[in-house]
Structure 1
Amino acid sequence: MATVAQMLLWAGKELESTSETPMLDARVILAHVIGKDSIYVMTERDVVLPRAHEWVYREAIERRKKGTPIAYITGMKEFMGMDFRVSESVLIPRADTEVLVEKSIEILRDRKEAKVLDLCCGSGAIGLSIAKFVGGSHVVLADISQEAIGVSKENAFMLGLEGRAEFVVSDLFEGVSGSFDLIASNPPYISGEDMEKLPKDVADFEPHGALYGGEDGLDFYRKITENAISHLNRGGVLIFEIGYDQGDEVMDIMKRNGFKGIQLFRDLSGRPRVVFGELVPET
């Protein structure tokens, strides 16, 4: 049997050729396997691992060597300061998407009992984060994937939000009823050209149905914007995550469909990340 230090040393060497952060990966995966935090792994280096843990760890490191994202190995990903369960049926939540959530929270701050739709919800990270930070809000989470809805339900349970969330298996608005104060969506938006340039850990492991947005990457923006009008309350807001080069096109799509006050926001890297507009009340 091996100690924590010995297994970390072995794993770090195994991952050197495939990971930019081999020792960090080794620690994160080991902490997950033994059910401890990273501090324990770094300080209790002489602890001898049970044989069962060693076997599981070796298998996990082999998966990482093949490019499997760490979030799919651990089944968890942090987002907005909370832990979300993920599986290979959903995209891994990214920190850049927090810009969309933060803007949504700001928009809904003064709205009581806001009703929100998270369309193409995946893990539910967007909608459930909004529900967590906007008191009184009620969120409907919709996705075409039954497996994704299952993951969203798990996350709602983990976060104690079951009573404030509904779940719908739906092809965009097909199975969605009612109207909303805010519709948030991080839809598939990778173009045909960019699909061929995706990093290996994305292209080989994350669900292509949640990535490909048509030849120009804008198919879902068109469909959602055209249909959102009949599902928004007057004064309601449609908010999107966008690709780094799609800002002008998405803003134009929203303008042509009657949205007003359209704005673009950038992520922490300075790249265009979020576009939103309001369905202005008729006068």
Structure 2
Amino acid sequence: MSHKVNFTIRDLYYKFMSLNISLKKADVYQILEYLLKMDYSDIISNLEFNVEIDEEKIRSIITDLQNQKPLGYILKYQFFYKRKFYIDNRVLIPRSDTEILIDVALKWIKYRQNILIADICTGSGTIGITLNLETNNPVICTDISEEALTVAKINSQNLQANNTKFYLGNFLNPLIERNLKVNLLISNPPYIDCNDQDISSSVKNFEPHLALYADNNGLWFYQNLVDNLNNIVDLNEPFAVIMEFGWKQKNQINQILKKSKIKIAWEFIRDYSGNWRCVIITNG
């Protein structure tokens, strides 16, 4: 039988803030929303209100946090581009740094109509679903992980992204196997070098390695893209490829693109923290 404990909301807030795990205020408010089933404005307005909470639930969250389990996996959701996405340990946790890819894509799409978009290595589906909802263009989402696609489909249903399709397969293969050519390909692929030791414990111990690590010093997906570009886009029509990369990889990716046998143009773009984050490749 669970044991209930009483707190004011303020005391509960400080209970989490006092943990020696560097929680941000926003993180604690997310935890309170989850525990109390209240939104932020109600919490702020009722800090002296007494609430009854299951003690085991509080203890479980604290233990998870102390074990460096990411908050997104504890709460089972993450916001991305102002939308709430379901997540669990079958997929990477979406990062706000990735939102720059959406802005770059929307800028390219702005004056174009009836385009086909592919979100490759979709994971939880955040990029593809967001672009479908923002533009109403059809989106193909692919992933090598069937479990990840299950999560992406949950989000597509929850957010009513009705014009989305999901294909299982490695990187570009689902497009190539179906002779599909797209106008915009967007991807946040695995890009961490398999030998990279500079990975936080919370990422290394909890997030799916299949979505993190790549061969060829983390550059396999970029080389594969260049090698297969003519198979996935119509070179006679305007196209764009937008790919995220690690902030140290810009120069290496630049060298890969320079060796392309197809005439392309590209631009590197920083995220809103000032780090190099993505590249957009076009046919000019």
Instruction: Report what 1:71 is aligned to.
Output: 72
What letter corresponds to residue 28 of structure 2 in structure 1? A
Corresponding residue for residue 166 of structure 1: 165
Secondary structure of the residue that 1:239 maps to in structure 2?
Answer: strand
2:35 to 33, 36, 43: 33
* Residue 20 (structure 1) shift: 4.3
After superposition, the Cα gap between the structure-2 partners of 1:259 and 1:210, relative to the gap in structure 1 and judged at 3 Å, is farther
1:78-109 CA distance string (max 9 Å, x none) = 11111111111111111111111111111111
Offset of residue 228 of structure 1: 3.1
Structure 1: gaps spanning 5 or more residues: none
Q: How big is the shift at 1:25? A: 3.3
Letter in 1 for 2:271: D
The answer on whether the counterparts of 1:121 and 1:141 sit within 8 Å (CA) in structure 2 is yes
Q: In the alignment, is residue 156 of structure 1 matched against residue 156 of structure 2?
A: yes
Determine if the alignment matches structure 1 residue 147 to structure 2 residue 147: yes
2:256 aligns with: 253
Question: Separation in 1 of the partners of 2:15 and 2:113?
Answer: 54
Pair 1:241-2:244 in alignment: yes
**TM-aligned CA distance change 1:115 to 1:11, over 3 Å:** same
In structure 2, C-alpha distance between the alignment counterparts of 1:84 and 1:57, rounded to whole Å: 23
Q: Report the equivalent of 2:44.
A: 42
Distance 2:211 2:97 in 1: 17
Q: Is the 8 A contact 1:26 1:61 kept in 2?
A: no
Structure 2 residue 140 is the aligned partner of structure 1 residue 127: no
Secondary structure at the counterpart of residue 89 of structure 2: coil
SS at match of 2:35: helix
**How far does residue 26 in structure 1 lie from its aligned partner after superposition?**
3.2
C-alpha deviations, 1:106-128, integer Å up to 9, x for none?
Answer: 11112211101100011111111
The letter for the 2-side match of 1:250 is: I
Residue 186 of structure 2 aligns to a residue whose secondary structure is strand
Give the TM-score of the pair, scaled to structure 2. 0.89
* Structure 2 residue identity aligned to 1:227: N
Q: 1:259 to 1:99 in 2, by over 3 A?
A: farther
How many percent identity over aligned positions? 27
Amino acid of the structure 1 residue aligned with 2:253: V
**Aligned partners of 2:38 and 2:23: how far apart in 1?**
24
1:43-76 Cα shifts (integer Å, max 9, x gaps) = 3234443454x43232122211211111111111
Moved over 4 A (4+): none
Cα-to-partner distance string for 1:182-220 (whole Å, 9 max, x where unaligned): 1111111111343x1111211111111111122511011
How many angstroms apart in 1 are the aligned matches of 2:208 and 2:281? 29
Aligned residues: 273
Aligned residue for 2:103? 102
- Cα distance in 2 for partners of 1:259, 1:127 equals 27
- Of 225-234 and 113-122, deviating more is 225-234
More moved, 270-279 vs 70-79 = 270-279
Please say if residues 29 and 57 of structure 1, whose CA atoms lie closer than 8 Å, have aligned partners that are also in contact: no
1:8 pairs with 2:10: no
Name the residue aligned to 2:231. 230
Superposed displacement of residue 171, structure 1: 1.2
Say if 1:117 and 1:259 are closer, same or farther in 2 by CA, change over 3 A.
Answer: farther
Structure 1 Cα separation of the partners of residues 70 and 37 of structure 2? 19
When residues 261 and 174 of structure 1 are mapped into structure 2, their CA distance, relative to the original with a 3 A threshold, is closer
Q: Bigger CA drift: 185-194 or 41-50?
A: 41-50
Segment drifting more, 115-124 vs 257-266 = 257-266
Structure-1-length-normalised TM-score:
0.89
User: What residue in structure 1 maps to residue 273 of structure 2?
Assistant: 269
Q: In the TM superposition, what whole-angstrom CA distance separates every residue of 1:137-193 from its partner, at most 9, and x where no partner exists?
A: 11000001111111111111122112x100011111223321100111111111134
- Single out whichever of 171-180 and 106-115 deviates more from structure 2: 171-180
Q: What does residue 114 of structure 2 align with?
A: 113
State the SS of the aligned residue for 1:204.
helix
Asked if 1 retains the 8 angstrom alpha-carbon contact of 2:17 and 2:23, the reply is: no
Question: Is the contact between residue 85 and residue 155 of structure 1 (CA under 8 Å) also seen in structure 2?
Answer: yes
Instruction: After TM superposition, list the pairs within 5 Å mapping 1:196-215 onto structure 2.
Output: 196-215=197-216
Letter in 2 for 1:267: D
Aligned mates of 2:273, 2:26 — CA distance in 1: 23
Amino acid across the alignment from 1:5: R
